[in-house]
Structure 1
Amino acid sequence: MPEQIVMAITDYYAHFAQTTKSEALTNYRKAAKLGLRTYIYERLNYSQQNQITQSWDLFKERILNNQPPKDFFTMFDESTAIITSLIRHNIVVDDSIMPDGSLGIH
């Protein structure tokens, strides 16, 4: 759901609902001050930068472990440009989307 819609719903419950709660108002003010995404990340103790760092670490580990025989290619070699582009654009890359040997079967 887009942040603007979430903020509109939160605003309604903080200010206009028949029964408003001080907790809703407090949370609305914090989210409005920090921005909804930052507020949620802070409340969950989530750091996107840590996730991106872990993506680079996994990528480097795969590079070090990828040693195909001479004159052969691997799917990992063929997809490195895609993977680096994803990470550079702050898309988290983990084991669930890192290409491996099974990709070549298809």
Structure 2
Amino acid sequence: MKYKNNELVIYYLNDLKTLHNLTKQNFVQVAYESSIRWISEYINKYCMEIMRKFNRVLGSRDRLREDDIHEYKAAVEYLQIIQILKEHLGSFLLSPETL
């Protein structure tokens, strides 16, 4: 997630889900659910940090800089791209409208 390689994330989540379906081993299900929780928490922290920074800039006397707008736009685009994880994260996945 650090490098935002969503294709790799979905690849591993698909593998864990398939492995669990084939083996029915509880530890695989636990690993899958733990991964989903970690990914969801990472995305939530990232979005909260972006919103906090953007709101701070809006509430300050400093002017809104172009960098601030680009960072916010990149976060919205990231949320749009990671919607491919919806199959795995379900309701834990934030939508772009959150920002």
Question: Normalising TM by the smaller chain, what interval?
Answer: 0.3 to 0.5
Q: Normalization by structure 1: what TM-score? A: 0.39
Q: Return the structure number with greater relative CO, CA threshold 8 A, min gap 6.
A: 2
Using the size of structure 2 for normalisation, the TM-score is: 0.41
* Structure with more of its chain in helix, by fraction: 2
Name which one, 1 or 2, has greater alpha-carbon Rg: 1
